[in-house]
Amino acid sequence: MTSMDVQEISAVLPHRYPFLMVDRIVEIGEDNIVGLKNVTVNEPHFTGHFPGYPVMPGVLIIEAMAQVSGILVGKLAPQTRGKIMFLASVENAKFRRPVVPGDQLRIEMKMVRLKQTVAKLEGVAKVDGQVVAEAMLMCTLTDRLQSTGQVAAPQEAQPQLA
């Protein structure tokens, strides 16, 4: 598989509107993935961030990066399917320029480490070939409790990745 549409993405990620931040996967490699997020003015956060000058919040760019990462983790480690991936840490995050309605985020993530319950990825988000954000993400994988839809409490976010 080299690409995924939104229906295929929804089969992997538990997120739904308005929090699904990935519209398409355009490339899946051995240890990397590229996803797209179309930024539109009708997204709910733009009504308050900021009136008259809509800017996509940086935390939502990081969330989009984490969701793209979740798809890669699911591809590389099929045993993680059905688990919930929680963001455990964000390192070296930098935001280079505002992302506004009409932009298309191209999110490029690369696996750094993958263990049983921990994944570490680095990546960039670009608009028109220019880097708008970059970060190193660490995520923990937690079992989903099947009977209630709840998730088990995440383990301590200090895993050993050496």
Q: Among all residues, which ones are annotated catalytic?
A: 49
Name which of 71, 79, 136, 131 is nearest 105 in CA terms: 131
Q: Yes or no: say if 61 and 99 are a contact pair by the CB < 8 Å rule.
A: yes
Name which of 93, 105, 25, 22 is nearest 59 in CA terms: 93
In angstroms, the CA 137 to CA 134 distance is 10
